Amino acid sequence: MEAPVHGSTGYWADAAERRRRRRAFNLLMATGLIMAMLGLGWGVFFALRGAWAVAAVELAIALLGGVVILMARLRRTRAAAWVAFAGMAALLCFFSAFLDASTTTIPGTSHLFLLVLALCAHHVFRAEPPGLRYGAVFALLLAFAVFAATPVGTPAPFAISDDVRRIGIWVNLATVVASFLVVMRLAESDIAEHRALHRALRDALSQRRFELFYQPQVDGEGHIVGAEALLRWRDARRGILRPGEFMQAAEETGFILPLGQWVLQAACTQLRAWHADPAMRSLRLSVNISALQLRQPDFVQQVSDAMARAGIDAGRLTLELTESVLVHDMEDAAGKMRALHAMGVRLSLDDFGAGHSSLSYLRELPFAEMKIDRTFTRGIVRDAHAASITRNLLQLGQDLGIDVIAEGIEQQDQFGLLGEQGCRLFQGYMFGRPMDVDAFNRRMGAA
């Protein structure tokens, strides 16, 4: 049995992750609220003065603020951040150009906020491709430069009066300085957390605290035909941590690359050890591969090296990929998959049905196996809809000539029903939880 798993609440890496997410959420809500309130306030102000066009622009910005709040609440953080930035940039440009343009007596100050926004963009979009990230910063700085260099002209008839701007100038400057410092401080603490996380993961790897657990995969008679290698972090104080508690951090820090390489090598070494035992010689082993790993230019070589070093037969190794791996750069992924397939490595489409699974992946790419996600197998006994989906997926596998394995089997009636539908491969707590290698070997000896 799998050793008791430490709850995620006390775990600092997880807590840091949640803190970061909460901070991003709060920042977005605050931005959305500011946009909504400023837009609404100024919208009403200009509507009362009869400047309808300006009022409409202000109200559109207020609406955009509402959209940011809604998207943040729906956890569409990335999209919300982009809308917030676009909205704020539009608001500031509008102010700088028309409402707060420099006059002969009072200089405009609204454009200074564009500098703060550029600093924000540099930090918030740090995980985006460089073109987007630096493009956003560049566009904001360019807008700043244009407004800073614009000579004094005749103010628009609806511009804010100099009496108001005379006070506003100091409010604006103080706000710019304060928000610059706040953004800088937030960025600093984020970077510090990131570094600490990376250090913790690196120490765990060098101190051999990562370990592979093995969960049995069985055939229709319940005989073990293989296993899935599942990563665990064994910590003296916190107990055994599951991937849900550190994998996202590993992805974000890029640590998944050395860690993934370690997993691959450890899995191949294990296959070699099983090969020496006649009772375990025919076992297959599945290894999970993350999107970042597959994106490495030398990934195919890494797999080939790991197999050669351990001296194993490629047909024993299965690499599990999820659709998220494929959506990013389909061409690149497809090329590598074909090379792996040519080497004899089996490829499995993990969590099928959980995301935006596309049938074309299965048809066009050299998958040897599809794993039906737990969300379907969980409900099949009570839910006719789920049962008809699994039946169709099994039929699909048969038509395409690929194996279908059902994940998350916990009860006899799920096993029975899927068996009736023609399923021949299963994995789930009913046949065994992920266990350490000694427990798995004992289990095989007993089988």
Q: Can you give the binding site for ligand C2E, defined by CB under 6 A?
A: 215, 230-231, 242-244, 247, 260, 263, 288-290, 320, 350-351, 374, 408-410, 427-429, 434
In this complex, which beta carbon is closest to Mg ion, that of residue 28 or of residue 370? 370
Q: Which of 385, 375, 330 is nearest to 351 (CA)?
A: 375
In this complex, which beta carbon is closest to ligand C2E, that of residue 247 or of residue 333? 247
- Residue 432 Cβ vs ligand C2E, minimum distance, rounded to whole Å: 9
Q: What angle do CA 42, 48, 54 make, to 5 degrees?
A: 50
- Residue 245 Cβ vs ligand C2E, minimum distance, rounded to whole Å: 9
Choice from 288, 414, 421, 427 touching Mg ion (CB under 5 A): 288
In this complex, which beta carbon is closest to ligand C2E, that of residue 91 or of residue 409? 409
Choice from 14, 58, 245, 351 touching Mg ion (CB under 5 A): 351
- Binding partner at 434 among ligand C2E, Mg ion, none, C-beta below 5 to 8 Å by kind: ligand C2E
- Which range in 7-15, 24-32, 80-88, 280-288 contacts Mg ion by CB under 5 A? 280-288
- Residue 230 Cβ vs Mg ion, minimum distance, rounded to whole Å: 8
Choice from 350, 390, 414, 428 touching Mg ion (CB under 5 A): 350
* Whole-number Å distance between alpha carbons of 303 and 405: 23
Q: How many Cα atoms within 13 Å fall on the side-chain side of residue 30?
A: 7
- Binding partner at 230 among ligand C2E, Mg ion, none, C-beta below 5 to 8 Å by kind: ligand C2E
In this complex, which beta carbon is closest to Mg ion, that of residue 110 or of residue 348? 348
Site for Mg ion in 297-326 (CB under 5 A): 320
Classify 356 as helix, strand or coil.
coil
- Residue 321 Cβ vs ligand C2E, minimum distance, rounded to whole Å: 10
Residue count, binding to Mg ion (CB under 5 A): 4
* Whole-number Å distance between alpha carbons of 225 and 282: 7
Q: Taking each helix axis as running N to C, give the angle between helix 77-94 and helix 113-124, from 0 to 180 degrees, rounded to the nearest 10.
A: 160
In this complex, which beta carbon is closest to ligand C2E, that of residue 162 or of residue 332? 332
- Residue 351 Cβ vs Mg ion, minimum distance, rounded to whole Å: 4
- Residue 350 Cβ vs ligand C2E, minimum distance, rounded to whole Å: 5
- Binding partner at 290 among ligand C2E, Mg ion, none, C-beta below 5 to 8 Å by kind: ligand C2E
- Residue 227 Cβ vs Mg ion, minimum distance, rounded to whole Å: 11
In this complex, which beta carbon is closest to Mg ion, that of residue 176 or of residue 349? 349
* Whole-number Å distance between alpha carbons of 339 and 347: 11
Classify 232 as helix, strand or coil.
strand
In this complex, which beta carbon is closest to Mg ion, that of residue 107 or of residue 379? 379
In this complex, which beta carbon is closest to ligand C2E, that of residue 40 or of residue 381? 381
* DSSP 8-state assignment for residue 5: B
* Whole-number Å distance between alpha carbons of 155 and 50: 17
* Pairing mode, strands 346-352 and 317-321: parallel
As given in the structure block, the two tokens for residue 54 are 């300006």
* DSSP 8-state assignment for residue 435: B
* Whole-number Å distance between alpha carbons of 76 and 373: 23
CB–CB of 165/100 below 8 Å?
Answer: yes
- Binding partner at 390 among ligand C2E, Mg ion, none, C-beta below 5 to 8 Å by kind: none
- Residue 349 Cβ vs ligand C2E, minimum distance, rounded to whole Å: 11
Q: Taking each helix axis as running N to C, give the angle between helix 412-420 and helix 384-400, from 0 to 180 degrees, rounded to the nearest 10.
A: 50
Q: Which of 56, 5, 420 is nearest to 233 (CA)?
A: 5
* Pairing mode, strands 346-352 and 224-235: unpaired
Q: How buried is residue 22: exposed, middle or buried, by Cβ count under 10 Å (0-12/13-18/19+)?
A: exposed
Binding site for Mg ion (CB under 5 A): 288, 320, 350-351
